[in-house]
Structure 1
Amino acid sequence: MTTPSTRVAVLVGSLRAESTNRKVAELLRDRAPEGVELVIADHLGEIPFYEENLDATATPATAVALRELVGASDAVLVVTPEYNGTMPAVLNNAIDWLSRPYGVGAIVGKPVGVIGTTPTPYGGKWAHADTVRSAGIAGAVAIDGGIVSQSVLEVDPLTDVDVLERFLAVVNALAAFEPAAA
């Protein structure tokens, strides 16, 4: 008998191919616990800014693909840096597309965790808090202990065992999430 798989959609807030956050997402994907599959959403930078008339008349294929990925996933992991004290625009835009149609968007009811790194002493905590708030308003469910903000000033998050364990703990919490009884 095969182990049931938990599918986690991963949204990376940095578009730069060599970004540390993208590398963290790829590392976690490659080291995902048994029974957990992390699928990185590509092409976030190709999705136009959310606009209701566009969505109503000709939803872009990239937005449809993102909605399908998240809709078919059990959870969402956001891996993001911080830009000017908040989340990157590309991530905010992805959440906007995932929140629609209002009340039944692909992200509604999905557990969400947010991790990431920045070259600041705060490690991206404002961006991570903003992401959780925005995803929550869109209908996602923030998991307990689901935010890990890591500065890269004194540690390499790609090689530091303690940091990787904290990141993987969020993945494990997403995989173990049980919705509250109605």
Structure 2
Amino acid sequence: MNNRTSYFYDPDVGNFHYGAGHPMKPHRLSLTHSLVLCTMELYKKMMVFKPYKASQHDMCRFHSEDYIDFLQKVSPNNMQGFTKSLNTFNVFFEFCSRYTGASLQGATQLNHKICDIAIKLGLEGLHHAKKFEASGFCYVNDIVISILELLKYHPRVSVHRHRHSPW
């Protein structure tokens, strides 16, 4: 790695909890970050950024306004009132905003040649989300949103992912 590698990590993302038995375990992100960045001292070889939170407008670049509006309104405190929508959409906006913001900020930095490599550990892209609904635990398709950003500056985009992980 070189000093032209950007690493995106939001320390609050590990505080989200999807409930007992759910395969998504955001606290693992904190553990991975600690191991990779601190124990292995990779922070010395990368530019580390706390990503901004993606806005409703950012997410509507791919997703429907109704779906993103729902994600913005539902919370653990009021989810009983959204029972029908939860069955359709099934998630919360804040977590989506954080992982989508990191992906979008990485694409923007690549476009503006701030970095040659952009890394976001643990949530390597929740690419199964559809325009109008979640799929599994993929709620906002940050990969499509990032590709749309990259296409502003590049005629083609190739996506390489090592594996899909339920972190």
Q: Give the TM-score range, shorter chain.
A: 0.3 to 0.5
Q: Which has the higher contact order (CA 8 A, sep 6+)?
A: 2
